[in-house]
Amino acid sequence: MKERLPSLVAVLLLGLLVLGTWWASDYALRSIEIDPPRRVTHERDSWSDQFTMVRTDADGRAINRLEGESMEHFPDTLTYEITAPRAVGHQPDTPITVGTADRGTLDEHGDRIVLDGNAHLKRLPDAEHKLLDVRSTQLIIEPDLDLVHTDRPALVHNGNSTLRGKGMRYDNRTRQLTVHAASDVKISGEDQAARNAEPKKNAQP
């Protein structure tokens, strides 16, 4: 028995050492965050001054251009915030559109541009269409669809006619203009005559 006593004491001490190590490790894991969650704050992670972004189609033709005085990217919202944006759309076989504002927001994938503050969109005139001029506090452009719309009050000058209402939608591919809740509509005689002269199936604003 006396010969076994030192061995038993050694085994007991070893067991206590293992238990103590396990307890210390478990306590450390419970009291210290090894990988704390990332703090999500509205802090920019990239930025640029006097920038120009160009998107092309499958044939390499430039169809959309966005430029501005400055641009900042914010990872918490996955958006680019732009100062003095200017968005130019030039899809094949459609009139050129130019949108400007005091501020703008571009989403991560570039398929939605929100123009805020003195938002202004122009469809430049061509051989078939007169100038279309839209003003509002906010305009939303969807470049891939060649579409602009707003649910805010808007003032629209379409040729010599004036339309004012709350909410507007313009499809540049079909040239279809819709002004919702129109409160003030003034259609010029020239525009009305031109519209009546067009075949109904091809009637466009």
Q: What does the pLDDT look like over 41-93, one tens digit per residue?
A: 788 889 999 999 999 988 888 999 999 999 999 998 899 999 999 999 998 88
Cβ atoms of 28 and 21 within 8 Å: the answer is: no
DSSP 186: E
Are residues 96 and 107 in contact, defined by beta-carbon separation less than 8 angstroms? no
User: How many residues in total does the chain contain?
Assistant: 205
Q: Above 80 in pLDDT, residue 149?
A: yes
> pLDDT value at position 166?
93
Q: Is 194 left (phi over 0), alpha (psi -120 to 50) or beta?
A: alpha
Report the candidate in 40, 51, 132 with the shortest Cα–Cα distance to residue 86: 51
Share of the chain above pLDDT 90, in %: 52
For 116-131, how does the pLDDT look when each residue is reduced to its tens digit (9 = 90+)? 999 999 999 988 889 9
Q: Rounded CA gap, 167 and 188, in Å? A: 22
Which ranges of the chain would DSSP assign to H, the alpha helix? 5-31, 189-197
Instruction: Please give the model's pTM, rounded to 2 decimal places.
Output: 0.73
Give residue 203's pLDDT band: very low, low, confident or very high (50, 70, 90).
very low
Question: Terminus-to-terminus CA distance in the chain, angstroms?
Answer: 108
Q: Give dist(CA 164, CA 72) in Å, integer.
A: 34
Q: Residue 16 pLDDT > 80, yes or no?
A: no
- Give the phi and the psi of residue 40 in degrees, each rounded to 5: -95, 110
Residues of the chain above pLDDT 70, percent: 77
